[in-house]
Amino acid sequence: MKKSILSSVIFFCSFIALGQDMSYNQPWLSVVPGERSLAFGIPQRSVFSDVEGTPFANETFLDGTLYGLENDKLNGRFRYNAYTNEIEKDSESGPVALLRRDYYRITIGNDLYLIETFLDKGKIRRSYFVEKNKGRVRLLKKVSKEKSKVVFPGSSYRPERAARFRDDISYYLKVGSDPAVELDFKKKDLIKALADRQKEVQAFIKDNALRIRTEDDVLQVLTYYNSL
């Protein structure tokens, strides 16, 4: 069983899967070190040898399990690269990246990662999400990383700034097998998304004094909704 899953694992440093309809950026690379050039005593260009921050949702590898088809599973240590939208497995020879398969389910620490369809500017795409609950309507958390550009000084008074990774976290609602739709944590947006039970949902939110400002607020409503 383990062999069937291991055959789908590739070395991260030597191969990048192509032709996948996924929403992800190209693998991040550090800026190649170079020399500072000067003109009239003012730095015109400088190059940084690293990028501040990390592309990973969890910098260290955590214990987890990769589940494949027919209950195949592989235990190991994993981490999620939120910049390239890839999951890496720790190995004796270094990190390896998993091929993206829709049927994979991977636990990393306490999080369960799944590949789900979602709407992005009217187009259906696929990406890794962290599943936050079970039921007909599920809350999915999308953890991404954006990389800012290197800022070069325009004058002697403007400091240099290295490129850096920044968190970009968003939430989506997935109803049945429909593509997930982004959700803002607002009462009106959540009630609209659950319109078939609008009166019940409104009453539940009011009775429990929920502001719908946090992940926990939304999960309470979804637990109630899925029980109806």
For range 71-89, the mean pLDDT: 94
Instruction: Find, among 68, 98, 92, 101, the residue nearest to 80 by Cα.
Output: 98
Instruction: Find, among 210, 215, 202, 105, the residue nearest to 171 by Cα.
Output: 215
pLDDT at 150: 67
Residue 21 predicted with pLDDT over 50:
no
Q: Taking a C-beta distance cutoff of 8 angstroms, is the pair 79, 58 a contact?
A: yes
* Distance between CA atoms of residues 24 and 127, nearest Å: 8
- What is the pTM assigned to this prediction? 0.76
Residue 202 predicted with pLDDT over 80:
yes
pLDDT at 113: 98
For range 182-211, the mean pLDDT: 96
Residue 35 predicted with pLDDT over 60:
no
Burial of 21 (0-12, 13-18, 19+ CB in 10 A): exposed
For range 92-112, the mean pLDDT: 93
Query: pLDDT by residue (tens digit) across 49-69?
Result: 467 888 999 889 999 999 998
Q: Which residue has the higher pLDDT, 97 or 20?
A: 97
Query: pLDDT by residue (tens digit) across 112-171?
Result: 999 999 999 999 999 999 999 999 999 999 999 888 776 666 555 556 667 788 889 999
pLDDT at 146: 84
For range 81-110, the mean pLDDT: 93
Model confidence band, residue 102 (pLDDT cutoffs 50, 70, 90): very high
For range 105-113, the mean pLDDT: 97
pLDDT at 151: 63
- Look at the block and give the residue holding tokens 């502001």: 211
For range 87-94, the mean pLDDT: 93
pLDDT at 47: 39
Tokens representing residue 131 in the block: 């599943």
Average pLDDT value over all residues in the chain? 80
Q: Taking a C-beta distance cutoff of 8 angstroms, is the pair 57, 64 a contact?
A: no
pLDDT at 108: 98
Q: Taking a C-beta distance cutoff of 8 angstroms, is the pair 184, 155 a contact?
A: no
* Distance between CA atoms of residues 82 and 167, nearest Å: 9
Task: Give the orientation angle of helix 198-207 with respect to helix 215-227, to 10 degrees.
Answer: 130
